[in-house]
Amino acid sequence: MDIVAIERACERLVLDFVFFSDHQQPEALSQLFTNEGVMHRPSGDSLIGRDAIHKSYQSRPPGRLTRHLCTNIRITVDSADRARGLSYALIYSAVLNQPAYAHFGIETEPRQIVGEFEDEFVRTPEGWRFAVRHARFLMHTKGIT
């Protein structure tokens, strides 16, 4: 069992998830999960299966820009076919239909959120995938409610 290779594959899933989320690629995002994969949202809603995950992320407003900055990605390998992970995320968002401020880009919304993802990974014939992903918000700056 190559622990480092498993850790890297799972870390890549974490990074691909936020990339596909931020770049509004719901089909690619949903493929990071097993067919029966579960995404527990911070709201408490659960998305079960690739189709539900795809539909939910596809319905996001097109004029919204987000950036998830993920860090402290910690993967624990349980076996050659299972692993767990925890990562932190700082989430910025903005509305795209506003003018950019010089070379600084558009202004972010006042609220920034610190959250975490708790993951269960499994090895499938397609490679490593999320079996379960729990997203939680832990704290935020004051801002728009």
pLDDT digits (tens, 9 = 90+) for 62-120: 889 999 999 999 999 999 999 999 999 999 999 988 889 999 999 999 999 999 999 99
- Report the share of the chain in percent with pLDDT over 70: 98
pLDDT above 60: residue 145: no
Half-sphere exposure of 40 (CA within 13 A, CB side): 13
> Alpha-carbon distance 58 to 20, whole Å?
11
The domain segmentation of the chain, as residue ranges, is 3-140
Sort 117 into a burial class: Cβ within 10 Å, 0-12 / 13-18 / 19+. Answer: buried
Q: Which of 124, 114, 117, 125 is nearest to 92 (CA)?
A: 114
CATH number of 3-140: 3.10.450.50
Number of neighbouring beta carbons within 10 Å of residue 86: 15
pTM of the model: 0.93
> Alpha-carbon distance 93 to 50, whole Å?
25
The stretch 30-36 carries a mean pLDDT of 98
pLDDT band at 144 (very low <50, low <70, confident <90, very high): low
**Residue with tokens 């949903």, as numbered in its chain:** 30
pLDDT above 90: residue 2: yes
Q: Which residues contact 24 (CB under 8 A, 6 or more apart)?
A: 57, 60, 62
Q: Which of 99, 15, 24, 120 is nearest to 66 (CA)?
A: 24
Q: Which of 64, 12, 38, 26 is nearest to 130 (CA)?
A: 38
